[in-house]
């Protein structure tokens, strides 16, 4: 109270305009997904001590629940001041296409963001009509996590591809009652699928699925489902009851050998579990995808009609700043897309990710909104159900193509 009066008095005496009121930020970074976001909020609060920040979160990995709540709020005329959305088609094909976002081109120009974010990433958040969000990170989807000392004691090594995994690694582990690959709740199946698809198709054909150059029911794409099925036979049968963190715990705890998960798992293992990269856990590109970086990016935008627009603009300034990005990403398990980020602040896993991001072939993630619009992605969950229920590669492949025809991929 005293501080607030003092700040207001100073503002009156010196003519300073201090931000007041509220700022509501909406995301799915709840619980142990929260520390990186909290670091950003702390930075914002230090600069704007009189603003009440409302950190509205809806739990659920990959935003499965948050997106539904956001949709209700946006369509109901009750937008938050700023919300998390994946860069790429999840942003462009949904809220931008619906004309619900503010163009942030002026903010990019004022803050010098046009010079410090890679042009390719700016493309992913732009249309002819503007630039629509501030990216806070680059995550990698196609990562295989394991603990080297556990692999040594089981006498297995990191498989080079899924064929080796299915025919050698998996039976060797099963014979010792170790789960070869741990999976979690529904969306993590989609997450695994995209890594299998990338491995089986290679980067060009994988991208062809989303540009329309390769049909989902082309024989090559049908074969992805067969490999995926063989990989699933090596997974735990209680997947639907596990969050991605609980799946990660099984690798760390030595019940399972491998997990394919985005590198938010590194954030969890370092920030929440206190493990040291390279000691408590190890990583490799998911089998058959060495040299390819499947990217996704979390970003925040400004919805039209945001109740506290000026505060939201200040929030976006913090998100794009180098200080904000380095505070956030070092905890989150992601790297900053800023070309001037201070890599010396980042741990060994993140430094290796930064190196791969600059040197690998880069393709976008399906499960995390980069390459196909939300309508396709949510229907893809039905395709997955069809496959899990029938184990028919043809049925799944035909359903995927039917959905691509019906809702479109990115138009
Ligand atoms: C992704 C998101 C990550 C992380 C993950 C697990 O979609 O981009 O930042 O939150 O879901 O919830």
Same-domain status, 119 and 219:
no
Same-domain status, 121 and 72:
yes
Same-domain status, 281 and 335:
no
Ligand 1 mutation pick, 38, 61, 142, 365, max ligand atoms within 8 A of CB: 61
Same-domain status, 289 and 311:
no
Count of the separate structural domains present in the chain:
2
pLDDT at 17 (0 to 100): 66
Q: 262: CA distance to ligand 1 center in Å?
A: 8
Atom of ligand 1 nearest to the CA of 334: 9
Cβ neighbours of residue 40 closer than 8 Å, sequence gap 6 or more:
136, 318, 319, 324, 327, 328
* Residue owning the nearest CA to atom 1 of ligand 1: 62
Same-domain status, 55 and 69:
yes
Nearest to residue 314, comparing CAs of 43, 86, 74?
A: 43
Same-domain status, 172 and 132:
no
pLDDT at 16 (0 to 100): 52
Q: 264: CA distance to ligand 1 center in Å?
A: 7
Same-domain status, 303 and 191:
no
Cβ neighbours of residue 99 closer than 8 Å, sequence gap 6 or more:
304
Whether ligand 1 lies within 6 angstroms of the CB of 67 is answered as: no
Helices marked H in 212-308: 219-232, 244-252, 264-267
Whether ligand 1 lies within 6 angstroms of the CB of 296 is answered as: yes
Answer with the one of 360, 378, 395 that is the final residue of a domain: 360
Whether ligand 1 lies within 6 angstroms of the CB of 140 is answered as: no
- CATH number assigned to the domain comprising residue 214: 3.40.190.10
Whether ligand 1 lies within 6 angstroms of the CB of 191 is answered as: no
Atom of ligand 1 nearest to the CA of 264: 4
Q: For residue 202, what are the domain limits?
A: 140-294+365-407
Same-domain status, 267 and 384:
yes
Q: What is the pLDDT along the chain (411 residues), one digit of tens a residue?
A: 454 445 455 554 544 569 999 999 999 999 999 999 999 999 999 999 999 999 999 999 999 999 999 999 999 999 999 999 999 999 999 999 999 999 999 999 999 999 999 999 999 999 999 999 999 999 999 999 999 999 999 999 999 999 999 999 999 999 999 999 999 999 999 999 999 999 999 999 999 999 999 999 999 999 999 999 999 999 999 999 999 999 999 999 999 999 999 999 999 999 999 999 999 999 999 999 999 999 999 999 999 999 999 999 999 999 999 999 999 999 999 999 999 999 999 999 999 999 999 999 999 999 999 999 989 998 999 999 999 999 999 999 999 999 999 998 876
Same-domain status, 222 and 349:
no
pLDDT at 410 (0 to 100): 75
Same-domain status, 66 and 119:
yes
Same-domain status, 316 and 183:
no
Distance CA 248, CA 345 (A): 25
Sequence-separated contacts (24+) of 73-78 with Cβ below 8 Å: 73/26, 74/100, 74/303, 77/305
Same-domain status, 205 and 248:
yes
Atom of ligand 1 nearest to the CA of 60: 12
């Amino acid at each position: 109270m005293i501080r607030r009066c003092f700040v207001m008095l100073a503002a009156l005496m010196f003519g300073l305009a201090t931000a007041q009121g509220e700022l509501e930020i909406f995301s799915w970074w709840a619980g142990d997904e929260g520390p990186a976001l909290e670091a950003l909020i702390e930075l914002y609060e230090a600069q704007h001590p009189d603003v009440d920040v409302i950190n509205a979160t809806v739990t659920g990995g990959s935003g499965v629940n948050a997106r539904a709540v956001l949709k209700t709020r946006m369509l109901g005329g009750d937008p938050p001041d700023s919300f998390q959305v994946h860069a790429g088609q999840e942003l462009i094909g949904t809220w931008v296409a619906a004309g619900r976002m503010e163009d942030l081109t002026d903010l990019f120009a004022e803050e010098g963001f046009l010079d410090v974010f890679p042009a390719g990433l700016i493309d992913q958040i732009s249309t002819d009509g503007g630039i629509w969000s501030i990216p806070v990170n680059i995550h990698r989807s196609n990562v295989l996590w394991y603990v080297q000392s556990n692999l040594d004691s089981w006498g297995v090594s990191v498989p080079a591809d899924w064929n080796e995994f299915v025919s050698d690694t998996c039976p060797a582990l099963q014979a010792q009652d170790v789960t070869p690959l741990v999976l979690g709740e529904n969306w993590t199946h989609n997450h695994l699928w995209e890594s299998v698809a990338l491995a089986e198709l290679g980067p060009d054909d994988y991208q062809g699925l989303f540009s329309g150059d390769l049909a989902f029911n082309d024989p090559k794409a049908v074969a992805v489902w067969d490999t995926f099925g063989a990989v699933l036979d090596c997974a735990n049968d209680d997947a639907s009851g596990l969050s991605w963190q609980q799946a990660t715990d099984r690798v760390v705890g030595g019940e399972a050998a491998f997990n394919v998960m985005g590198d938010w798992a590194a954030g969890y293992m370092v920030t929440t579990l206190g493990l040291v990269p390279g000691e408590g856990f190890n990583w490799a590109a998911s089998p058959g995808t060495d040299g390819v970086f499947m990217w996704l990016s979390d970003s925040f935008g400004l919805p039209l009609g945001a109740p506290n627009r000026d505060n939201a603009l200040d929030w976006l300034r913090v998100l794009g700043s180098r200080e904000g990005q380095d505070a956030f990403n070092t905890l989150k398990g992601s790297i900053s897309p800023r070309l001037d980020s201070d890599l010396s602040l980042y741990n060994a896993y993140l430094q290796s990710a930064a190196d791969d991001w600059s040197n690998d072939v880069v393709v976008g993630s399906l499960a995390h909104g980069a390459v196909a619009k939300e309508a396709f992605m949510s229907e893809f969950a039905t395709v997955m159900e069809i496959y899990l229920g029938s184990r028919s590669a043809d049925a799944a492949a035909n359903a995927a193509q039917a959905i691509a025809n019906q809702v479109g991929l990115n138009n």
